[in-house]
Amino acid sequence: MSKLTIKNPYGDKIIFESGGKPFRLISRNDFGNIEYSLKTEKGFLQRGVSVVSKSMQSKIQPIELAILSNSYSDLKKRLKQISNLFEPEYHNTDDLTPFTLEYEDENKFSEIKVMRAFLRSSPTLKDKPDESIKYYQKMLTTFLLPEPVWKSKYYSEELLTTQEDLFVWPVSIQDGYTFGSISQGGVEISNDGNLSSSLIVEFKGPATNPMLENLTYGESLKLNYTLETGDTAIIDTSYNEPRLLITKADGTEIKAFKYIIPEHSDLNMRIRRGINEIKFSSDDTTAVEAVIKWYRNYTTPFGGE
């Protein structure tokens, strides 16, 4: 059974299920249809055009829902719940109300996938309740999806340690995720999403000029900074909100973009689809560690469909 959980910014939520009662998910309507903007240039000898790059665009997503009740009074009660859930915030600007969509398919081995969305229109009731099915009320609501990518609800996480420049076995911290496997260069991490994923790296001191490398794709991040015992450095390569923050043992925080070494400055570093060989190192031989976290990304909430 498919479930779509809709949460508003106040913490209210309703679970809509395919074939469910009282709240029913009628259509998943093109959840996976992603539109791209293309940048092109003239091809070789000016014959045709070549696509240079493409980027995802925001999209409008209609979702058809329904209420199936046993009585008119129950229908009114459910409609009030719907009204509370989709109550828009009032602003003097054109800001939209932020929501979270969670999708799960219990008929398959499928993790919960999450998307950030903004309410574009509250539910529009379709005519009157269906007389052939007592107190069955359809409705249509519309969301704006600024980044139409479904993310795994829980991140994958690997603890990597070095000892005399050699990797030891990485520890998978969360249950349900596959261990990385050892190779000569580093640790092989498998990303079974169908889109690349940004990552969060946490270096832990002591470490002199720590560096993380994706050997498979030739990307690297290195800091020109010595982390003392108790210090941490967090690098987040999220496209919209990249950050680099060093936290000292005494709690002092330092915004640290200036410490990135130019020749190792891939702030767009990703965990790509498939196998990624990841290596962590530093300029000394002290046993140090780093934690890598990432969310698997999908073009649809249905996984491999």
The residue ranges of every structural domain in the chain are 2-148, 156-298
pLDDT bin (cut points 50, 70, 90) of residue 126 is: low
**What pLDDT, on the 0 to 100 scale, is given for residue 38?**
59
**What pLDDT, on the 0 to 100 scale, is given for residue 252?**
94
Nearest to 153 by CA among 187, 180, 176, 119: 176
- Of the listed ranges 3-17, 257-271, 288-302, the one predicted with least confidence: 288-302
243 vs 267: CA distance, rounded Å: 9
Q: Do domains 2-148 and 156-298 have the same CATH topology?
A: no
Section 235-253 average pLDDT? 89
**What pLDDT, on the 0 to 100 scale, is given for residue 149?**
85
Section 275-288 average pLDDT? 82
- Reading phi first (left if > 0) and then psi (alpha if -120 to 50, else beta), residue 84 is in alpha
Tokens of 216: 């498979």
Q: Which CATH class is domain 2-148?
A: mainly beta
How many residues appear in the chain?
305
pLDDT digits (tens, 9 = 90+) for 146-155: 888 889 988 8
| CATH 2.120.10.30 holds for 156-298 | no
DSSP 45: G
**Amino acid letter, 114:** V
> Coil, strand or helix: which one is 214?
strand
Residue 36 near residue 54 (C-beta atoms within 8 A)? yes
Tokens of 184: 């000569």
Residue 8 near residue 29 (C-beta atoms within 8 A)? no
**What pLDDT, on the 0 to 100 scale, is given for residue 164?**
39
- Of the listed ranges 6-15, 164-173, 232-241, the one predicted with least confidence: 164-173
pLDDT of residue 42 exceeding 50, the answer is yes
**Average pLDDT score over the chain:** 79
**What pLDDT, on the 0 to 100 scale, is given for residue 168?**
38
